[in-house]
């Protein structure tokens, strides 16, 4: 049998992560007659957001595997191979097995790889891990960690935060080291980060904030993490969770420009400078919803919106499907407490030179508050001072936190003002939400509306 | 001491329910220098939404009492009395103790009273109850029901539905009789109502739909409910939960017009024909968000939005605080299953002559779906066929249902189209929401967007 050397497809997607798979599924459902091929390096797709839970709740690493059923059902052809080059002129991708794939449209969903801090020494040692979206690697890491009694996590963003909580427990000493003054420092303001820290500390996890990790000690195997204050935290294993970097080498090699954030610039329809090549997900450079400046947000919420937009606009621009910029929206949970954020934090808004008002309300997520199973619910709102436009919100609460954060996300994306939020109709129920009178979004909206009111009447 | 016979206030609020209290608190916080007086019949305010839970979860009827702390803290003066007349010309209200209250602005928050079906015979019998928002009555009813082994509830709207579930259990036979073909018939479509029925039946509650209750049997005390098919369901007690009627006699007496729905017509700022007299909550007639026609929605979400709008616009119209019409948004829960609805149902949209598309998706509210504590999550979306505008949504799910319903409510209020919903940024998290690829709102939006797409490209 002669090996197939040339393949022709209408749409080629490179990358099997969330954005690649979603772009393929959505694209095929809108352009039923087109052929879709998805090429990915990994034989097994995973759900990256579930990685932290392999240590605890999920019990079994296999649970993070995502089946190819949806892709197969739609008739997307999957090839497990690495794409080695892209020829823009002839519209051909070559894969590592020497196959040439001719495409009409190409979607780059190249994803991101763990950011390796070059100032952190000792990364080559045994039992030092990063968290790539790579199933065999995660399997090996989980096996190795099961014997480790002392684990240090470098990085207190949401991956480090979730992994620390899930790994912690009576049988394991866990320490988290974060260079910023507080945990979850990019997504949340300091007072919310302090609450996140408290939850880890109550679980017996040691949290060291405002401290740089400068190296990993050990001869062949990690024995500790060196801090900038000269001290060493003992460790049997070290997890480096200091963020991700867009994977763009293939695009660069193909001659596509790379933006100031290190990602691939795209227009509102996710098209690169070459309108037949689109990019979506972590590898795509997007623009801030508030300022229009290039930014680089690597969240599933952003990746999915981008993948859907790229897919729908592949062959025909749909004017109403515009993507007016990135609003970071995300949530996380440890134990029974969840944290959610949408849009700008107070700090980020100030850094961006917005004149703002903020208000925070702390209540209970059910009513009456004496019902069993209630949870404290804190909502912080960040509003543009003169326009009254909602710039961001942060939530701490229970099981409804993810969707409450999405309510705020919708307020921002629809450019609602604090006055329209104050007078919006909001459903409430004893067992499901706060009381209608003290519904947290309404209360913070009112506090800020009053301050705007005083300004406008003087 | 001579009894005070004349009082002067800037703002007078009649009614101590949710809308009255919220209008007073909000108004006073915006107009700090004005005097606010609230007159109510009841010495004790309650949270009406919590009434169904006095039988089960709350354990103690007292839990539904709402304190006057917030009113007192704001400096709202409370008077426990009945207002017997309103003099529009001189702007005076008289109370049952002969006191005259001179007002500058009046907010009618008269609420609603249980609808007494005149075709239902035997309502005068002992152990026949309605569910008014009246604390002493509720206390007496709870005490009486504790000895009853067989309870029949007439009416399968959300009050009847919640009360049936909470009253049911091994020690009590509960039957619910509903004249519509399914439970929750006004707020949900038939297939969602069928799910609600299943949950009650699994709890051993007998559900009889599509059947009229025509009378209550008994000599002095209720012994059963007579059905239109000639059968009788035995009962020690009967609860009539067939809806509420706006309480407007005071307004009528004062010469204010009453609208076609039986409530007090108001403009977008909740002003009656007399701009110094406003109305909010169940007694106010509002207009449908979709058609502008008068309607009568008696929900806390509507009442609270109305109360806030009335309060903010008391002395100065704030152009951006317009209320563009009523979007019913509400949620309910029995056991660990919650139901939420926003906007129009499929049936209602068709009755109103909308050309529509609908889509329903059934998934799981966390991811991976093997996580402990997951719940089935069903979302139905109703979209205007030509404009693509979102008209309504229905949700069945777990603890996040209330806020997910609010996400849909915000989509409707912001007049989002199905295309903008499909490409909206939505935060997801393993422990808090469905998977980003199969997030239910995105999936139903995609299904409908494809159908619109086919229409527009043919």
Cross-strand partners of A360:
A380
Chain A: give the shortest CA distance to residue B55, in Å: 13
Query: A322 pLDDT exceeds 60?
Result: no
Structure ipTM: 0.93
pLDDT at B286: 86
Over range B47-58, report the average pLDDT. Answer: 80
Instruction: Reply yes or no on whether the pLDDT at A457 is more than 50.
Output: no
Using CB atoms, pick whichever of A49, A409, A428 lies closest to residue B301: A428
Is B422 part of the contact surface with chain A (CB cutoff 8 Å)? Answer: yes
Task: Tell me which of A2 and A233 has the higher pLDDT.
Answer: A233
Mean per-residue pLDDT for A305-322?
Answer: 84
Residues A289-299, mean pLDDT to the nearest whole number: 90
Q: What per-residue confidence (pLDDT) applies to A117?
A: 85
Contacts of B309 (CB under 8 A, 6+ apart): A423, B268, B269, B270, B280, B321, B323
Cα B202–Cα B204–Cα B208 angle in degrees, nearest 5: 95
pLDDT at A48: 86
At B3, the pLDDT band (50, 70, 90 cuts) reads low
Which tens digits make up the pLDDT trace of A101-115? 999 999 999 999 999
pTM, rounded to two decimals = 0.94
A423/B323 CB distance under 8 A: yes
Each residue of B172-222: pLDDT tens digit?
999 999 999 999 999 999 999 999 999 999 999 999 999 999 999 999 999
Confidence at residue B201, expressed as pLDDT on a 0 to 100 scale: 97
Q: Is 50 exceeded by the pLDDT of residue B457?
A: no
Phi, psi dihedrals of residue B349, rounded to the nearest 5°: -60, -40
The pLDDT confidence band at residue B50, using thresholds 50, 70 and 90, is confident
CA distance B322 to chain A (A): 8
Place A382 in a pLDDT band, splitting at 50, 70 and 90. Answer: very high
- pLDDT the model gives residue A458: 39
Q: Residue B341: which region, alpha, beta or left (left: phi > 0; alpha: psi -120 to 50)? A: beta
Q: pLDDT above 70 covers what percent of chain B? A: 97
A221 alpha-carbon distance from chain centroid = 31
Task: Give the Cα separation of A277 and A88 in Å (integer).
Answer: 8
Which residue in B381, B383, B397 sits closest to B434, CA to CA? Answer: B397
CA distance A101 to A7: 5
Residue A320 and residue B58: Cβ atoms within 8 Å?
A: no
Chain A residue numbers touching B427 (CB-CB < 8 A): 299-301, 329-331, 340, 342, 402, 405-406, 409
Cβ–Cβ contact A223 with B under 8 A: no
pLDDT in tens, A159-213: 999 999 999 988 899 999 999 999 999 999 999 999 999 999 999 999 999 999 9
> Does the pLDDT value for residue B458 go beyond 70?
no
Residues of chain B in contact with residue A18, where contact means CB-CB under 8 angstroms, are 436-437
H or E, element range at B163 = helix B158-167
DSSP for residue B147:
T
DSSP 8-state assignment for residue B2: P
**Average pLDDT for residues A121-130, to the nearest whole number?**
94
The CA distance from B131 to B117, in Å, is 13
Predicted confidence at residue A372, as pLDDT, reads: 84
Residue in A closest to B412 by C-alpha: A425
In angstroms, the CA A115 to CA A245 distance is 5
Stretch among A221-235, B65-79, B314-328, B386-400 having the lowest mean pLDDT: B314-328
Which pLDDT tens digit goes with each residue over A47-76?
Answer: 888 888 887 666 788 888 889 999 999 999
Q: Higher-confidence residue: B80 or A4?
A: B80
Q: Indicate the residue of B333, B388, B436 with minimum beta-carbon distance to A431.
A: B333
| Mean pLDDT over each residue of chain A, to the nearest integer | 93
Helix (H, G, I), strand (E, B), or coil: what is residue B133? Answer: coil
Cα atoms in the Cβ-side hemisphere of radius 13 Å centred on A233: 26
In the Cβ-directed half-sphere of B393, how many Cα atoms lie within 13 Å?
Answer: 35
Partner B contacted by A319 (CB < 8 A): no
Over residues A336-361, the pLDDT tens digits come to: 999 999 999 999 999 999 999 999 99
pLDDT of residue B57: 66
Rounded CA-CA distance B159/B281 in Å is 18
The 3-class SS string of chain A reads: CCCCCEEECCEEEECCCHHHHHHHHHHHHHCCCCCEEEEECCCCEECHHHHHHHCCCCCCHHHHEECCHHHHHHCCEEEECCEEEEECCCCEEEECCCCEEECCEEEECCCEEECCCCCCECCCCECEECCCCCHHHHHHHHHHHCCCCEEEEECCCHHHHHHHHHHCECCEEEEEEECCCCCCCCCCCHHHHHHHHHHHHHCCCEEEECCCEEEEECCCECCEEEECCCCEEECCEEEECCCEEECCHHHHHCCCCCCCCCCEECCCCCECCCCCEEECHHHEEEEECCCCCEECCCCHHHHHHHHHHHHHCCCCCCCCCCCCCECCEEEEEECCEEEEEEECCHHHHHHCCCCEEEEEEEEECCCCCCCCCCCEEEEEEEEECCCCEEEEEEEEECCCHHHHHHHHHHHHHCCCEHHHHHCCCCCCCCCCCCCCCCCHHHHHHHHHHHHHHHHHHC
Residue B7: is its pLDDT beyond 90?
yes
| Burial bucket for residue B216 (CB in 10 Å: 0-12, 13-18, 19+) | buried
Q: d(Cα B94, Cα B7) in Å, to the nearest integer?
A: 10
Round to whole Å and give the CA distance between B30 and B11.
Answer: 12
B403 interface with A at CB cutoff 8 Å:
yes
pLDDT of residue B58: 66
Tell me what the pLDDT averaged over chain B comes to: 93
Q: Which of residues 149-208 of A touch B (CB under 8 A)?
A: none
Asked if the model's pLDDT at residue A1 lies above 60, the reply is: no
Residue A455 is predicted with a pLDDT of 53
**Residue B388 CA: distances (Å) to CA of A245, B179, B385, B450:** 38, 34, 6, 11
Residues of A in contact with B411 (CB under 8 A): 410
Distance between CA atoms of B225 and A153, rounded to whole angstroms?
67
* pLDDT score for B249: 96
Say how far apart CA A178 and CA B314 lie, in whole Å: 51
CA-nearest of B106, B74, B114 to B90 is B106
- Rounded to 5 degrees, what are φ and ψ at B278? -110, 160
pLDDT band at A405 (very low <50, low <70, confident <90, very high): very high
| Average pLDDT estimate for B58-84 | 91
The pLDDT of residue A55 is: 76
pLDDT given at position A57 = 66
Confidence of residue B142 (pLDDT cuts 50, 70, 90): very high
Q: Are A385 and B415 in contact (CB under 8 A)?
A: no
pLDDT digits (tens, 9 = 90+) for B120-130: 889 999 999 99
pLDDT exceeds 90 at position A409: yes
């Amino acid at each position: 049998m002669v090996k197939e050397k040339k393949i022709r497809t209408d749409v080629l997607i490179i990358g099997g992560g969330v954005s690649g798979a979603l772009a393929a599924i959505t694209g095929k459902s809108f352009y039923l007659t087109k052929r879709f091929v998805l090429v990915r390096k990994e034989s097994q797709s995973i759900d990256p957001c579930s990685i932290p839970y392999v240590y605890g709740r999920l019990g079994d690493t296999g649970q993070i595997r995502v089946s190819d059923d949806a892709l197969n059902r739609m008739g997307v052809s999957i090839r497990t191979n690495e794409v080695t080059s892209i020829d823009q002129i002839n519209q051909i991708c070559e894969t590592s097995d020497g196959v040439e794939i001719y495409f009409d449209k190409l979607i780059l969903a190249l994803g991101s790889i763990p950011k390796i801090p070059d100032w952190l020494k000792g990364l080559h040692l045994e039992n030092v891990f990063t968290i790539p979206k790579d199933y065999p690697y995660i399997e090996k890491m989980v096996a190795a960690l099961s014997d480790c009694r002392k684990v240090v996590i470098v990085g207190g963003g949401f991956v480090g935060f979730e992994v620390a909580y899930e790994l912690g427990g009576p049988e394991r000493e866990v320490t988290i080291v974060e260079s910023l003054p507080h945990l979850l420092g990019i997504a949340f303001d300091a007072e919310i980060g302090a609450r996140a820290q408290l939850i880890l500390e109550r679980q017996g996890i040691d949290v060291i904030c405002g401290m740089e990790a400068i190296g990993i000690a050990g001869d062949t195997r990690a024995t500790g993490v060196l801090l900038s204050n000269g001290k060493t935290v003992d460790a049997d294993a070290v997890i480096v969770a200091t963020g991700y970097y867009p994977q763009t080498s293939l695009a660069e090699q193909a001659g596509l420009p790379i933006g100031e954030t290190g990602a691939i610039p795209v227009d509102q329809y996710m098209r690169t400078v070459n309108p037949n090549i689109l990019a979506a997900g972590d590898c795509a450079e997007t623009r801030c919803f508030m300022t229009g400046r290039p930014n680089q947000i690597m969240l599933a919420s952003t990746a999915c919106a981008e993948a859907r937009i790229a897919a729908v606009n592949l062959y025909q621009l749909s004017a109403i499907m515009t993507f007016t910029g990135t609003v970071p929206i995300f949530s996380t949970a440890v134990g029974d407490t969840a944290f959610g954020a949408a849009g700008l934090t107070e700090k980020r808004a100030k850094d961006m030179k917005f004149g703002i008002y903020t208000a925070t309300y702390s209540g209970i997520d059910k009513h009456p508050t004496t019902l069993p199973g209630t949870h404290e619910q804190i909502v912080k709102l960040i509003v543009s001072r003169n326009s009254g436009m909602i710039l961001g919100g942060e939530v701490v609460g229970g099981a409804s936190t993810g969707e409450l954060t999405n309510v705020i996300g919708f307020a921002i994306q629809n450019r609602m003002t604090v006055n329209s939020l104050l007078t919006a109709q909001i459903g409430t129920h004893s067992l499901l939400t706060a009381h209608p009178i003290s519904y947290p979004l309404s209360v913070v909206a009112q506090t800020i509306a009053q301050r705007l009111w005083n300004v406008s009447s003087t």
